[in-house]
Amino acid sequence: MTHWRISPANLGPAVSELLVTGEVGQNITVPCSYTVNEKSGTTSMCWGRGPCPASKCSETLVWTDGWKVTYQSHSKYVLRGKLHAGDVSLTIINAKEADSGTYCCRVEIPGLFNDQLTNLQVVIKKAPGSASEASFAETWPSVSASETPQTASGSYLSTSDYLEVTSSLQNESIPVHSQQHSEGAVYISAGVCVVFLVVLVLGLLLIRRYLHNMKKMSNFASSVAFWKPKRADNQSALEVEIHAEENIYTIH
């Protein structure tokens, strides 16, 4: 919830100061209003960052002509009050710590030095149990005394020791995993080499057997070619001998 208080004026009788506090992420309403004159009606006004200057607004955020907003520097700055009733309070949407600082509400009243000036000090703080604290609690969960590891002597380890041990174990698991990976690669390479050697030996044996068979077939062909002429010569000699014998018988 937004709170404010009025402090004594220090910039002249026409200037007042307000303190507005809020939390990050809230919609912070910075109050400002004026009395609508029945004769002149509503009037123009502006919101700016920093103390109210001698005229206009420095770092202007919003301008209104009394009935509608005519200028808006960013969509996070809105006027949700009834402008025709003089409610020109500024609402900061989803406020952040950077929105803290001095704001000026300047209502332009006709006449010399008649403007209504209000300096407002806005303070935006983080809410208790903010997201940063919650994320830290989730990252490092608390460890009860019953769950804390014990040493050999039976004394309990502190939380910091427990975190150091966990970190060291995680660091040691990395080289072990890499070592197992390298050993597996060596085994795979050795297996591929063995398979290649076996295939090579089998190929050599098949080639040798093929050459041996080709040699045997060549020898067999040579033998057949040699046997056929020899047989023909023997047959011719036999025929000559028979013919000779026939001639002998004829002489007698």
The domain 18-125 having CATH identifier 2.60.40.10: the answer here is: yes
Q: What residues does 79 pair with on adjacent strands?
A: 90
* Closest by Cα among 117, 17, 35 to 84: 35
What is the average pLDDT across 80-89? 95
What is the side-by-side order of every strand in the sheet holding 45-49?
Answer: 3-7, 15-23, 116-125, 101-107, 45-49, 60-64, 69-72
pLDDT tens for 89-134 read 999 999 999 999 999 999 999 888 899 999 999 999 998 876 554 4
H or E element that contains 194:
helix 159-251
| Total residue count of the chain as it appears in this document | 252
Structure tokens at 103: 């704001």
Show me where the domains of the chain are located.
18-125, 191-220
| pLDDT bracket for residue 223 (50, 70, 90) | low
CB 27 within 8 Å of CB 95:
yes
pLDDT tens for 129-171 read 765 544 444 444 444 444 444 433 344 444 455 455 455 545 5
Q: How far apart are CA 32 and CA 20, in angstroms?
A: 11
- pTM: predicted TM-score of the whole model, two decimal places: 0.49
What is the average pLDDT across 40-44? 90
* Closest by Cα among 25, 26, 43 to 34: 43
* Closest by Cα among 2, 96, 119 to 49: 119
Report the amino acid identity of residue 233: D
pLDDT-above-70 percentage for the chain: 60
Q: HEC states along 108-122? A: CCCCCCCCEEEEEEE
